Structure 1
C-alpha cells in the first residue's frame, strides 16, 4: 500500500504531486487542438513518473487532463467516449508507473545500504589483518555501531555480566530474560542494551548500546551487521590471547 499512496508527513511532496500535473496540463492548453488526447496523456504521465507521491500525482493528472484538455473545457466532465478511455488509462498507467518508480528508488536505497554495510565489515577486517591492536578493533567497532544502529552512544565493557539487560542476539532480535519470562522488543528498550562479544568460544565483554528508547529497532539487516561486527571484535581479542570469562 505504501508504494501507491503518498506520504502524509511530506507536505512538499504532496504539493508537488498536485501542482506538477496541473502546470503541465495548463501548459498544453494552447496545443490541445494540435495534439491528440493520447499524446497529451503521455506527456502528463512523464510528470507522474517523476513524482514520489505517485498515486496523488496520477489522480491529479487524470483530473487536470479532464479539466483542461477534453471537451467541454474547464469542466470536470468528458463528453467523448475516447477521451473517457484515455483519462481512465492515464490514471491506471500513472498508478502502475509510479509504483514501479517507487520500487526502483527503494531498490537503489537497498543497494546503497548493503554497500555501506559491506564496507563497514571490510574496514573492520582490514584493520585486524593489518595488525591493528585488539583495542583499536574494539574502538573501531564501537564507532561503527553508533552510526549503524543510530545510537546516542556506545561503550565497551570488558569481562563482566552485571545486571539483567536487554540483549541484541545473533539472530538480530532484542529480548530480555527474567527468570522464565522472556520479553522481545520491537522498539529500543529503556536503558542500555548489551551486545556480547565472543571469540573462539570465549566471552570477552560486551558493547553497551545507548539507544533512543521507544524508537523502532533499525532494519534487521543492520542488526545482523552489528552482530557480525561484534564477532570481528571478539576474534581480534581472542587472537591476541587476552584474558576472558569462562
Structure 2
C-alpha cells in the first residue's frame, strides 16, 4: 500500500512539479539562459523518477518540456516555438528527461533488489551453516520449512520424506511452477490455490518434498522462488549427509 501511495504522489509530482518550477523561475526569464532552465527541469524529472516509477518520470519529462515551451520560448504563454534554438532545447529537454527518468527508476529498482538479495543471502547462509553443524537433518528441515513459509508467504508448509503421492502443482528447479504439463504464471495469477510441491534431490536421488500451502493471492517473485529451491536443496544435502531418507 505504501508503494501505491508513493507512486501516486510521484505521478502527481510529475504533473505539477515542472509547471511549479517553471513559475518560480519565471521572474528571472530575461536573464536566465534557456539551457539553464532546461537543466533545472531535468533535475526535477530525475527527482520525480527517483521517488516514483517510470510512468511518473515520463510524465514529468513531458510536463517539463511542455511548460518550458509555454513559459520560456517565444511567443510566450503559447504552446508554440518560433526560434530553431528553442525548438532544439525543448526537444533535447524531452529526450534527456525521458532517458534520465528511465535510468533513475531503474536505479531505484536495482536498489530494492540489492536490499532484498541481502536478505535472501542471509537465509541461504544461515541454512548452510546449520546444515553443516546440525547432527539431525530434521533440524535443518524445520528451519527450511519456517523459512519457506515466510519467504513465499505461505499459510503452512510441511515436509514429506520419500513420498510421491498425487500430481500437485510443482515448483521447479528454475523457479517456475508447473501444473500437469502446463506452466503456471505466478507473476500474473499468483501461486495455485492448492498445495504446491517442492521436491528435494541429492546426487540425482529423490529424498522428499516440501508441501507448500499458499496464501490466496500470494505472488512471490522469481528470485524468492529460486531462493526457495536453494533452501530445499540444502535440506536435501543435510538428509543425504545423514545417510537416510528419514531423520
Asked if 2 retains the 8 angstrom alpha-carbon contact of 1:168 and 1:195, the reply is yes
1:110 aligns with 2:109: no
CA distance in 1, matches of 2:157, 2:13: 41
1:76 aligns with 2:79: yes
Asked if 2 retains the 8 angstrom alpha-carbon contact of 1:191 and 1:213, the reply is no
Q: For each residue in 1:105-142, what CA deviation from the matched residue of structure 2 results, as whole angstroms up to 9, or x when unmatched? A: 23323333333322221110111223364222112111
State the TM-score, normalizing by the size of structure 1.
0.84
Report which stretch shifted further, 156-165 or 13-22. Answer: 156-165
Report which stretch shifted further, 82-91 or 152-161. Answer: 152-161
Go from structure 1 to structure 2 and tell me whether the alpha carbon gap of 1:243 and 1:77 turns closer, same or farther (over 3 Å shift): closer
Asked if 1 retains the 8 angstrom alpha-carbon contact of 2:45 and 2:61, the reply is yes
CA distance in 1, matches of 2:114, 2:146: 22
Report deviation, 1:38.
0.6
CA RMSD of aligned residues (A): 2.5
Aligned residue-pair number: 233
1:12 aligns with 2:15: no
Report deviation, 1:147.
3.0
CA distance in 2, matches of 1:237, 1:198: 10
CA distance in 2, matches of 1:152, 1:74: 59
CA distance in 2, matches of 1:217, 1:229: 15
Report deviation, 1:101.
1.4
1:186 aligns with 2:189: no
Asked if 1 retains the 8 angstrom alpha-carbon contact of 2:152 and 2:224, the reply is yes
- Other structure's SS at 2:154 match: coil
- Structure 1 partner of 2:139: 136
Q: For each residue in 1:150-194, what CA deviation from the matched residue of structure 2 results, as whole angstroms up to 9, or x when unmatched? A: 3333222334322221111223232233xxxx2221132230100
Structure 1: runs of 5 or more not aligned: 1-6
Higher helix fraction: Structure 1 or Structure 2? 2
Q: 1:228 aligns with which of 227, 230, 247?
A: 230
Structure 2: runs of 5 or more not aligned: 50-55
Q: For each residue in 1:17-36, what CA deviation from the matched residue of structure 2 results, as whole angstroms up to 9, or x when unmatched? A: 11111111111011111110
Q: For each residue in 1:178-223, what CA deviation from the matched residue of structure 2 results, as whole angstroms up to 9, or x when unmatched? A: xxxx22211322301001123455433321112245665621x332
CA distance in 2, matches of 1:81, 1:108: 40
1:86 aligns with 2:89: yes
State the TM-score, normalizing by the size of structure 2.
0.83
Matches within 5 A, 1:1-246: 10-52=7-49, 53-131=56-134, 133-177=136-180, 182-187=181-186, 188-199=191-202, 201-212=204-215, 216=219, 218-219=221-222, 221-244=223-246
- Other structure's SS at 1:152 match: strand
Report which stretch shifted further, 39-48 or 193-202. Answer: 193-202
